[in-house]
A = this chain, B = another copy of it.
Amino acid sequence: MANLKSLGEFGLIDRLSRKFKHQAENTILQIGDDCAVYSSSKNQLVSTDALVENIHFKVSAISPGQLGQKAIAVNLSDIAAMGGTPTRVLITLGISKKISTSFLDQLYKGIHKTCKLYGVELSGGDTVSSPESFFINITVIGESRKGKLFTRKGANKGDLIFTTGTLGDSSLGLKISSNKKCKCSSQSRKHLLDKHFNPTPRLKESRLLARSSLKITSMIDISDGLAQDLHHICKQSGTGAVIYEEKLPQSPAFSKVCIDNKLKHLPLILNGGEDYELLFTLPPDGVKKLYRQFEKAQALVTHIGEITQTLNKVSLVRKNGKRETLPRLSGFNHF
């Protein structure tokens, strides 16, 4: 196994990028020059996200292949949140001393797998050394058809609130990953760990919404947690929202593990974060069509509440009928 010192920066870049042969549409120049070059007549979407060792992940808890897959997936989720299709990524690696060539090979295997699955091209990157913590920064580029752009701003009073998939699985997965005493079947365990370590960006669902004639009035992906991300929609739209405890979608694995281990389900669902499901709003007259289309596509969608007039106030109606206000946090606070 070649070590990093003998490979050098350029040798490492060659080694890691060698596999990335397939080209996105309209590529003029792939990697290997000062910039990558492409052209497109569609709207361009860009976003960037970093994952830092011991802040966002522990090398002891996630395999390098999973880390590579997840790093790409969470960035693709930002493109899904706008109704777009991802096309390109640029990847910066901050490599600390304990990181081996084999770790990087596995990481890139994961990156390559997810990029290939979604037809995403590697359009650049940087490899630098980092004194202590390994980090990975990804910039994702995507495109959307003109006139089909879903933003956080646009929800109106009376719109219904929907989420794809189920909520809380990812944070419960993280919780049980380091707890060997947890009572759960191997099947439940696998489901919950997969939702945390190998999330699926909801590109299929996003495309379904973008291609339909449904009047989606706002959309976001749930990365900070349902409560927080719903607050983002309300803030940008100048509205409030009410959601119902009994409507919040839970996977069978989630419900069973919460009950068997006496864990409170609500904090995980509301504030757990990293669900990477789509949260969106729609006027009531589109609901039938929405259900029909999601059923046809075998995709899960659930009505969880309504948009209200009260500026920035997000309420939860509990199963006993009581109404609670969900506070606006200042984000997943790393500092």
- Write the residues of chain A forming the contact surface with B, with a CB cutoff of 8 angstroms: 4-5, 7-12, 28-29, 32-56, 78-79, 81-82, 84, 88, 90-92, 94-95, 123-126, 128-133, 135, 137, 139, 141-142, 144, 146, 149, 151-153, 220-221, 236, 329-335
On whether A8 and B44 interact (CB within 8 A), knowing A84-B35, A126-B50, the answer reads: no
Chain B residues within 8 Å of A8, by CB: 329-331, 333, 335
Give this chain's copy count: 2
Known contacts: A28-B43, A124-B46, A332-B9. The answer to whether A34 contacts B129 by CB under 8 A is no
**A92 to B90 Cα, complex, angstroms:** 13
Interface pair B48/A37, CB less than 8 Å apart: no
Does A47 contact B131, Cβ atoms closer than 8 Å?
no
Give me 20 other A-B pairs in contact (C-beta within 8 A), A35-B82, A52-B94, A95-B334 excluded. A4-B335, A5-B335, A28-B149, A32-B236, A33-B82, A38-B46, A39-B41, A39-B44, A39-B146, A46-B90, A46-B139, A48-B124, A52-B130, A54-B131, A55-B131, A56-B128, A94-B94, A129-B334, A131-B133, A132-B133
Q: Contact at A46–B35, with CB atoms within 8 Å?
A: yes
* Residues from chain B with Cβ under 8 Å of A330 in the complex: 7-11
Q: Is the CB of B151 within 8 A of A82?
A: no
Whether the Cβ atoms of A43 and B39 lie closer than 8 Å is yes
User: Contacts of A129 on B, CB cut-off 8 Å?
Assistant: 52, 55, 334-335
How far does the Cβ of A31 sit from chain B's closest Cβ, in whole Å? Answer: 10
Report which of B29, B41, B45, B53 forms a contact with A41, defined as CB distance below 8 A. Answer: B41
Residues of B within 8 A of A153 (CB): 33
Q: Which of A48, A95, A153: most chain B CB closer than 10 A?
A: A48
17 pairs from A and B in contact (CB 8 Å cutoff): A8-B335, A10-B331, A29-B149, A33-B82, A34-B82, A35-B45, A35-B46, A35-B142, A37-B149, A46-B90, A46-B141, A48-B137, A50-B126, A51-B128, A56-B128, A94-B135, A139-B139
With A130-B133, A335-B9 given, is the CB distance from A92 to B35 under 8 Å?
no
